[in-house]
Amino acid sequence: MKIGLAVAAADALPSAFVVLRDDLCRCVDRCAALGYDGVELALRYAGEVDVPEMKRRLAATGLEVPCISSGQVFAADHLYFTHPDPAVRDAAVGRIADMIRLAAEFGAKVNTGRVRGIVREGETVEAAAERYLACIGRCADVAEPLGVELLVEPVNRYEVNFINDCAEGLEIVKRAGRRCVKLMPDLFHMNIEDASFRQAFEAARDYIGYVHVADSNRLAPGWGHLPFDEIFQILSDIRYDGYITAEILPKPAPDAAAAQAIRFLRAGLAAAADLRPG
């Protein structure tokens, strides 16, 4: 498995769950110095990335961009797939389509996250699901020819009221019926919504495209109370070999949190690999 860190530009919203806010190319250098394999770019617009310069920094450091996340599209601009206004849905699809084209430049995935939207008061879950599926299908039409995966991330009930646990995420992935649409479990949200880490991961093992990690308090792994030894073993048991990316708060300080995350994850994953049968 490879380990990534979620980062954003210096002017990212305070609500963005990233540990580093800086010039994106400087973020690459900082992550490389700490020993990460990749940087996840949390963006509001695809145009935030200077593609030629980013490619130069990646080549110089050996890092990758495994994923582009889109939470700020929802949080800052209130664009989302379940909105009743077709113009808003079109704008959300357009923003994600731009991110898909950007992701293709780096061989990255796109996390559709909270841009999936909410179930609005007075509407049904099925109405929201139908709008969502229509929008994710349009995004898949862009993503599939470019070889880009779209990630569905279950998010806890305190942030959105649609696709909260991994079972709901897996169901919507299957309903989408597109080979590029995958599930992205996030340990922070799973700790709130899923009764069993093992059951959730094992049920979705053939559909998982990416994994987010944070401890129970959204701090760096090891600074809360999640059962990481068990989680590392589960990931090893299901033979997950993709990225695990830390999406954590910059506390007590950004560099200290980022250093703790990579140190803890490297040691834990290595120990779990040593215990896995051949």
Does residue 149 have an active-site annotation? no
- Pick from 10, 61, 9, 74: which is nearest to 40 by CA? 9
| Set 153, 159, 168, 171: catalytic member | 153
- Could you tell me the two tokens for 252? 């007590």
- What CATH number is associated with residue 182? 3.20.20.150
Per-residue pLDDT of the chain (278 residues; tens, 9 = 90+): 999 999 999 998 887 889 999 999 999 999 999 999 999 999 999 999 999 999 999 999 999 999 999 988 998 899 999 999 999 999 999 999 999 999 999 999 999 999 999 999 999 999 999 999 999 999 999 999 999 999 999 999 999 999 999 999 999 999 999 999 999 999 999 999 999 999 999 999 999 999 999 999 999 999 999 999 999 999 999 999 999 999 999 999 999 999 999 999 999 999 887 766 55
Does residue 153 have an active-site annotation? yes
What is the distance between the alpha carbons of residues 6 and 80, in angstroms, rounded to a whole number? 21
pTM: 0.95
Residue 191 per-residue DSSP state: H
In a domain, 200, yes or no: yes
In a domain, 156, yes or no: yes
Domain count across the chain:
1
List the domain range (segments joined by +) for residue 64. Answer: 2-272
In a domain, 278, yes or no: no
In a domain, 44, yes or no: yes
| Set 40, 64, 149, 247: catalytic member | 247
The 10 Å CB-count burial string (b at 16+, else e) for 95-129 is bbbbbbebbbbbebbbbbbbbbbbbeeeeeeeebb
